[in-house]
Amino acid sequence: LQKDNVANQREHLILLLANVHIRQIPKPEQQSKLDDRALDYVMKKLFKSYKMWCKYLGRKSSLWLPTIQQEVQQRKLLYMGLYLLVWGEAANLRFMPECLCYIYHHMAFELYGMLAGNVSPMTGENVKPAYGGDEEAFLMKVVTPIYKVIEEEAHRSKTMKSKHSHWRNYDDLNEYFWKVDCFRLGWPMRADADFFKTPKFAYPNRLNGEERSAGSVHWMGKINFVEIRSFWHIFRSFDRMWIFLILSLQAMIIIAWNGGTPSDIFDAGVFKQVLSIFITAAVLKLGQGSLVA
């Protein structure tokens, strides 16, 4: 992680805790010591979405706390600091909250493994960060690959003039992490996963100028609901206006046919004919329903 990000998020965390600490009621006995209530409040706010994500996918969170009471507060601070560090370097990935939850889930588990001295079943050595401990490792090896997918999808939408159903946006990429299948991506994330594959259509690669063939990649496609619109959508979008105009026209035609003066509507026979607009309204509602379907 970058040194400047570490310094910024350290100050960020201190200010968050200090603001909550001084507003505690009743006042803490020792103002110079961090109150556990303030710590738990900030932690609850920070990890609300992450815990909901874990619950939705049926996974246990990676927020493991030690059994030794004296170490609990320090461990909570480390978890909170790690979350802010991930958020600080996430860049455009902040528009993909579930994606950030996935990244944090694995990094928090690595943090727990290192603090507990666990041994990796893969290497037989103590747990180490999957992406190394270099200063820009997180930015270059975690954020950049996902950002490049976003960039290529956005580039395709601008240059190819394609339909919105043929390229993925932030919501589509983020929805990939709504299902347990997202864990197939692994950690470290597999570069050959479908998530990182761009559309299976030929378009120029701006990074190296090469042309990709149509069958060179396997695009996983749009994930969420894709709304396909036709020219009928203009009637669907302004249905109330169209219904009002049609019913008004029908009423005016009936009145004009039976005399042409507004006072004719008070005639019993004319009034009964005007009431036929409710039958027309029912037919129009049926037509509206067919357009929605």
224-262 pLDDT tens trace = 566 666 676 777 778 888 889 999 999 889 888 887 787
Return the higher-pLDDT residue of 95 and 292: 95
Q: What number is the average pLDDT over the span 156-174?
A: 71
Q: Where are the domains of the chain?
A: 3-196, 233-292
pLDDT on residue 101: 93
Q: Would the pLDDT of 124 be above 50?
A: yes
Return the higher-pLDDT residue of 138 and 27: 138
Query: For the chain, what percent of residues have pLDDT higher than 90?
Result: 17
16-64 pLDDT tens trace = 888 888 887 777 776 677 878 888 899 999 999 999 999 999 999 888 8
Distance (Å) of CA 9 to CA 54, 82, 83, 180, 293: 24, 9, 9, 30, 50
Confidence of residue 162 (pLDDT cuts 50, 70, 90): low
* CA Rg value for the chain: 30
Confidence of residue 286 (pLDDT cuts 50, 70, 90): confident
5: exposed, middle or buried (C-beta count within 10 Å: 0-12, 13-18, 19+)? Answer: buried
Q: Would the pLDDT of 199 be above 70?
A: no
Q: What number is the average pLDDT over the span 58-74?
A: 86
